[in-house]
Amino acid sequence: MSGYVFDCEVLVVEAGSGVVLLRGTHSKHGGEVSSWLLGRDIGTVLDQVMASVLAGTEGPDLLDIGGFGLISKQESRRLLPRLLRAAIAAAASTDKNEAMMLRGPGDPPADPFCHACGYPTSTTVRDSDWPGRCDQRGHQAFGAKEDEVWEESLERHRRDVRRWQFHLDIGLISPRTVSTP
């Protein structure tokens, strides 16, 4: 379909699926225009949109995304961050929830980690001050209540570990089922 497309949005139906839905509104008839991007198509469209944004005032004013339509430079600038997030989500192999929740029955509680920066799951960041920075920036531990600060999450985690250890000590959890992370 040709014609100018605006109000573009990008959706990922399932993280790790390798599929992205690109939707927008057609300028002439006002109807919805959509295109499924699969695998390499995501990279191709991402390259096109990024090249359009980085070209600045040089280059064409409209970008033709095959099968979708024409988008303006301004629309490209709005679309780029959305497309980047969607590409990452579509390529992700593990969801945070899977990493934290799919644990064995004898396993200790998972260590808390920050939604925003990944502390302490990031292997490159080993800064003793880091949790304080998460608090200052308003970051939150995965699975925390909406208003729970990082220190409260750590205290909740300590209680969960003590409860787990108690259950292990009194034999409610078999030592044979305990796996090490």
Residue 107 counted as domain residue: yes
Band (pLDDT 50/70/90 cuts) for residue 123 is very low
CA dihedral 43, 48, 50, 52 (to 10 degrees): 180
Determine the pLDDT at residue 171. Answer: 84
Task: Answer yes or no: is pLDDT of 56 > 70.
Answer: yes
Which amino acid appears at position 26 of this protein? H
Report whether the peptide linkage leading into residue 175 is cis, meaning its omega lies within 30 degrees of zero: no
Residue 174 counted as domain residue: no
Helix (H) or strand (E) holding 156: helix 150-169
Cβ count within 10 A of residue 77: 13
- Range 163-181 average pLDDT: 76
Residue 179 counted as domain residue: no
Beta strands in 12-155 (DSSP E): 19-26, 32-38, 62-65, 69-72
Helix (H, G, I), strand (E, B) or coil at 135: helix
Residue 178 counted as domain residue: no
Whether 112 and 81 share a structural domain: no
- Rounded distance, CA 24 to CA 72, Å? 12
Parent domain of 43: 5-91
- Range 87-106 average pLDDT: 64
The two tokens of residue 176 are 């044979």
Residue 181 counted as domain residue: no
